[in-house]
Homo-oligomer: A and B are copies of this chain.
Amino acid sequence: MERLYEKIRTEGTVIGTEILKVDNFLNHRLDVEFLDLVGREFHTRFAGEQVDSILTVEVSGIAVAVLAARYFQVPVVYAKKHSSKTLSEETYNAEVFSFTKKTTYQIKVDRKFISPGDRVLILDDFLAKGQAALGLIEICRQAGATVVGAGMVIEKDFQEGGRMLRDQGVRVESLARIRYMDEERIEFMGGGADAL
């Protein structure tokens, strides 16, 4: 994880005290060589678990989910935020409130892509207020699938998402947990100093 901390420190930009811009490697430009290590790290962390599929939500979770999936040798399913001509009518739906946009939107997954009893690992780029992750958990609940855990590249520990998930008994593995940030500094939660 040291390399992730280093990338956040050197390539990230904090706006105010809540927005961390890491578009240089995580969600606009993708540093694929590095994100492959991130994917491998999720595989290491959840190595003891049987995982049947990885579930994420478009857009910015897809790259990490796909690279992790290579190591798990499982498919990825990504929930859709936008309707399309090819999206089935038969979907699991969950409402997600966006604090940044102050609106509620629906995420949808075709029912044929999650089956009762499936062991699903949720992956995403950020865990902040937890709304997207809670939506994905709700979709798994509707499908009768088991959530093995939630792997997050960056958790904003000063927001409530991580606590909400852990309070529900979800195993959350965040590769970098930010305790505090402003335009001058970023403080990470203590934790293993294992190299990513």
A-side residues, CB < 8 A to B, are 15, 19, 21, 23, 27-33, 35-36, 58-59, 62-63, 65-67, 69-70, 73-78, 80, 84-88, 100, 109-110, 113
Contact = CB atoms under 8 A, between A and B. Distances in A.
Contacts of A78: 28, 30, 59
A114 to B, nearest CB: 9
B29 A86 contact: no
A23 B74 contact: no
B62 A23 contact: no
14 contacts: A15-B86, A21-B86, A28-B87, A30-B69, A30-B77, A30-B78, A31-B75, A32-B66, A32-B75, A58-B59, A59-B62, A62-B62, A63-B76, A67-B70
A110 B28 contact: yes
A76 B30 contact: yes
Given A21-B86, A62-B59, A30 B100 contact: no
A76 B32 contact: yes
- In the complex, the count of this chain's copies comes to 2
A110 B36 CA distance: 23
Nearest to A16: B85
A85 B100 contact: yes
Nearest to A72: B32
B28 A113 contact: yes
A100 to B, nearest CB: 6
A154 B118 CA distance: 30
Contacts of A30: 62, 65-66, 69, 75-78
